């Protein structure tokens, strides 16, 4: 089967790290052309260092390009303590062997996409600043983009505010540019990602198992259950993994095509993604595909299986 060309745009971030790990575990199906970083969970310096650390830890030689350090217009934000001071649950990975390939993610994205014979799928799992700049500054890339499978938005209320999911809230103008681009989009919003993750027991077993990848990810994910930075519980969503899981196992999701209107106001509604969920109103397939349901048990089974597979690959 032909591999799918992908570029992952991320702000690692614990769940970003799980998503990157899941992608590398599936390198037999995915041609990872590069990883670009964007400020979000932590500063651009920290998330870029984290991307280099993670790829070096797995002894992979994937091109990494540093992206935007702040939103298009809004003030910089951060994920606060949700991902720890270092952005990786304070798991302090070794210093990277890999060097930064480019300090300009936008030109890296353009050059990489235009150099491919086949189209490229973009997998943004942080604020959409880089992607918005890419399609505005270099619109010629649009015909070479197969799909944008993004983690962001929500149809059931927010996590950063009562109405807005963090990635869209952080840079709503960028999100509006991407959703208004009419490029093929699959939106993994909180609607599905809050039900896509692992149980506390899964994480404890991972962290004690001694696997190179699963041991690290277990310790990282355990951070979510330790602090009081997120509501305590027995289940942790792994938001960003959804955007990749859809590419490999679309059958475990349900969806609806609908317009997605990003609120760019200043107030409480900032970053709200308004969608039309009236099932008697039909939208054609040129509108974004908004994921509405996920088979949680299948998601968990596939993710665990592939992360354990990664242990034997690194
Ligand atoms: O709202 C969840 C998103 O915000 C995820 O991408 C997580 O990494 C944070 O960036
Ligand atoms: Ca993220």
* Euclidean distance between CA atoms 265 and 163, whole angstroms: 12
Q: Is the pTM of this model over 0.95?
A: yes
* Euclidean distance between CA atoms 88 and 73, whole angstroms: 27
- Spacing, Cα 125 to ligand 1 middle (Å): 7
Of residues 83, 229, 239, 257, which has the active-site annotation? 239
Report the residue count for the chain: 314
* Backbone dihedral angles phi then psi of residue 99, each to the nearest 5 degrees: -100, 155
216-262 residue pLDDT tens: 999 999 988 876 555 568 899 999 999 999 999 999 999 999 999 99
**pLDDT for the residue numbered 127:** 98
Residue 92, pLDDT > 60, answer yes
55-90 residue pLDDT tens: 999 999 999 999 999 999 999 987 777 888 889 988
Q: Quick check: CB of 165 below 6 Å from ligand 1?
A: yes
* Cα–Cα separations (whole angstroms), residue 139 to 131, 134, 145, 180: 11, 7, 11, 13
**pLDDT for the residue numbered 199:** 94
Nearest to 241 by CA among 291, 314, 171: 291
* Euclidean distance between CA atoms 114 and 135, whole angstroms: 13
Atom of ligand 1 nearest to the CA of 16: 8
Domains of the chain with bracketed CATH = 4-311 (3.90.245.10)
Q: Quick check: CB of 240 below 6 Å from ligand 1?
A: yes
Q: Which residues contact 210 (CB under 8 A, 6 or more apart)?
A: none
Q: Quick check: CB of 239 below 6 Å from ligand 1?
A: yes
Is 239 an annotated catalytic residue? yes
Residue 25, pLDDT > 70, answer yes
């Amino acid at each position: 089967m032909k591999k799918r060309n992908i570029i992952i745009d991320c702000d690692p971030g614990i769940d970003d790290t799980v998503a990157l790990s899941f992608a590398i575990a599936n390198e037999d199906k995915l041609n990872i052309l590069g990883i670009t970083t964007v400020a979000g969970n932590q500063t651009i310096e920290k998330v870029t260092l984290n991307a280099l650390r993670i790829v070096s830890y797995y002894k992979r030689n994937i091109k990494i390009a540093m992206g935007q350090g702040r939103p298009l217009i809004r003030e910089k934000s951060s994920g606060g303590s949700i991902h720890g001071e270092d952005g990786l649950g304070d798991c302090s990975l070794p210093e990277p062997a890999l060097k930064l390939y480019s300090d300009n993610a936008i030109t890296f994205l353009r050059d990489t996409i235009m150099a491919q014979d086949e189209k490229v799928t973009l997998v943004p799992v942080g604020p959409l600043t880089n992607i918005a700049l890419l399609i505005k500054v270099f619109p010629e890339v649009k015909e070479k983009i197969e799909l944008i499978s993004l983690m962001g938005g929500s149809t059931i209320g927010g996590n950063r505010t009562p109405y807005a999911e963090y990635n869209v809230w952080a840079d709503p103008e960028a999100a509006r540019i991407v959703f208004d681009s009419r490029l093929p989009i699959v939106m993994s919003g909180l609607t599905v990602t809050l039900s896509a993750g692992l149980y506390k027991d899964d994480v404890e077993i991972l962290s004690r198992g001694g696997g190179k990848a699963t041991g690290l990810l277990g310790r990282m994910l355990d951070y979510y259950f330790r602090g009081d930075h997120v509501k305590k519980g027995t289940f942790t969503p792994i938001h960003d993994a959804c955007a990749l899981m859809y590419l490999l196992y679309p059958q475990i999701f349900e969806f609806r095509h609908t317009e997605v209107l990003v609120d760019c106001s200043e107030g409480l509604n900032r970053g709200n993604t308004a969608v039309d969920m009236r099932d008697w109103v039909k939208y054609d397939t040129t509108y974004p595909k908004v994921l509405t349901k996920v088979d949680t048990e299948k998601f968990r089974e596939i993710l665990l299986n592939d992360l354990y597979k990664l242990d034997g690959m690194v």
